[in-house]
């Protein structure tokens, strides 16, 4: 069976749209309508007039799409596709964190569950985290669950105390400064591009720090030809495909792979669309509260 052609037929028949994150297996791009980072995909989910949304990503992303589109059917091709960072904080842990620091605005990274979003003031992505925190005009903010992104935002702003929850992305957090030094020794002319989910010590050695989209745009607009890219393998795969005249390297030549992001396959997408399952649902009360958190972010990010 040619899954790609069958998916394209079913999309037309069922008025379906496929959203794919840049960390997905690159072959997913052949059937996706929109490909990008969490902010872009949230914006596309908010605008779509499709009846069915298939999210080639992880669970919290599909939840976000459902919250933004309560009347639409949202499908996640593989229910095992989760996020280790999102799993680092639950509702009870969030409440304990907030109780420890009362009366301080709470910013949650989009890498969090609907339940967590429902009790935060505003959501953010790595693309807009600085802008979101700045918009609160508060001397202190609580930031969760990613401590590394929170610390990066605090350093960039300089006038806001960002109190971070002790969570992280295991894929980015494990990258060590020695890795940059060793890789630069191999490729001395390459610029280091890093995601802000990396540690503060790691980011100090990078030439550019930015979100998935930020990194890809930097490469697009740069006259340089060699780049060491410190983020998930899906980004490198797409950069290698889109810019064949440039060279891209992993830290220590070892790709950083988010196994959860790789779980959705083209065949999974086909069967999800054919059977309209597995469907993502969110409790109505939680969804209403979480929607405010997400919509506030989207309004500021216009």
Same domain, 78 and 91: no
Q: What is the CATH number of the domain that holds 105?
A: 3.40.50.10800
Residue 294 falls within a domain, yes or no?
no
Residue 302 falls within a domain, yes or no?
no
Same domain, 90 and 165: yes
Same domain, 110 and 162: yes
Q: Per residue in 100-137, pLDDT tens?
A: 999 999 999 999 999 999 999 999 999 999 999 999 99
- The pLDDT of residue 300 is 92
Same domain, 64 and 99: no
Residue 299 falls within a domain, yes or no?
no
C-beta neighbour count of 302 within 10 angstroms: 5
Q: Per residue in 80-89, pLDDT tens?
A: 999 999 999 9
- The pLDDT of residue 55 is 97
Residue 288 falls within a domain, yes or no?
no
pLDDT beyond 90 at 1: no
Domain containing 108 equals: 86-169
Number of domains in the chain: 3
Domain end, chosen from 169, 193, 220, is at: 169
User: What is the per-residue burial (b if ≥16 Cβ within 10 Å, else e) of 152-179?
Assistant: bbbeeeeebebbbbebbbebbbebebeb
Residue 183 falls within a domain, yes or no?
yes
- The pLDDT of residue 267 is 97
Mean pLDDT estimate for the chain: 96
Residue 297 falls within a domain, yes or no?
no
- The pLDDT of residue 253 is 86
- The pLDDT of residue 21 is 97
Same domain, 269 and 229: no
Same domain, 155 and 93: yes
Same domain, 122 and 148: yes
Q: Per residue in 278-290, pLDDT tens?
A: 999 999 999 999 9
Residue 30 falls within a domain, yes or no?
yes
Q: Longest C-alpha distance within the chain, in Å? A: 58
Same domain, 156 and 205: no
- Give CA 256 to chain center in angstroms: 15
Q: Per residue in 237-261, pLDDT tens?
A: 999 999 999 999 999 888 999 999 9
Same domain, 227 and 159: no
Residue 300 falls within a domain, yes or no?
no
User: Mind giving me the DSSP string for 59-111?
Assistant: HHHHHHHHHH-TTSEEE-S-TT---TTGGG--HHHHHHHHHHSTT--EEEESS
Instruction: Average the pLDDT over 177-185 and give the result.
Output: 95
């Amino acid at each position: 069976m040619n899954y790609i052609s069958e998916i394209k037929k079913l999309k037309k028949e069922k008025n379906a749209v496929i959203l794919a994150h840049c960390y997905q297996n690159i072959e997913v791009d052949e059937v996706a309508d929109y490909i990008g980072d969490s902010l872009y995909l949230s914006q596309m989910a908010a605008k779509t007039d499709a009846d069915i949304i298939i999210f080639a990503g992880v669970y919290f992303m599909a939840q976000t799409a459902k919250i933004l589109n309560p009347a639409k059917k949202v499908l996640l091709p593989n229910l095992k596709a989760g996020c280790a960072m999102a799993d680092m904080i639950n509702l009870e842990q969030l409440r304990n964190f907030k109780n420890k620091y009362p009366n301080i605005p709470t910013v949650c990274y989009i890498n969090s569950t609907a339940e967590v979003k429902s009790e935060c003031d505003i959501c953010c992505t790595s693309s807009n985290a600085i802008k979101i925190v700045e918009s609160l005009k508060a001397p202190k903010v609580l930031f969760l669950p990613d401590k590394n992104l929170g610390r990066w935002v605090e350093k960039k702003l300089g006038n806001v105390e960002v109190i971070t929850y002790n969570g992280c992305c295991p894929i980015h957090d494990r990258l060590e400064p020695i890795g940059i030094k060793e890789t630069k020794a191999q490729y001395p002319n390459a610029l280091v591009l890093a995601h802000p989910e990396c540690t503060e010590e790691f980011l100090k050695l990078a030439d550019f720090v930015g979100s998935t989209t930020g990194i890809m745009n930097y490469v697009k607009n740069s006259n340089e030809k060699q780049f060491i890219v410190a983020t998930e393998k899906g980004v490198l795969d797409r950069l290698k495909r889109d810019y064949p005249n440039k060279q891209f390297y992993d830290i220590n030549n070892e790709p950083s792979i988010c196994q959860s992001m790789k779980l959705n396959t083209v065949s999974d997408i086909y069967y999800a669309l054919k059977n309209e399952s597995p469907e993502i649902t969110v409790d109505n009360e939680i969804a209403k509260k979480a929607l405010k958190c997400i919509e506030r972010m989207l309004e500021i990010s216009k």
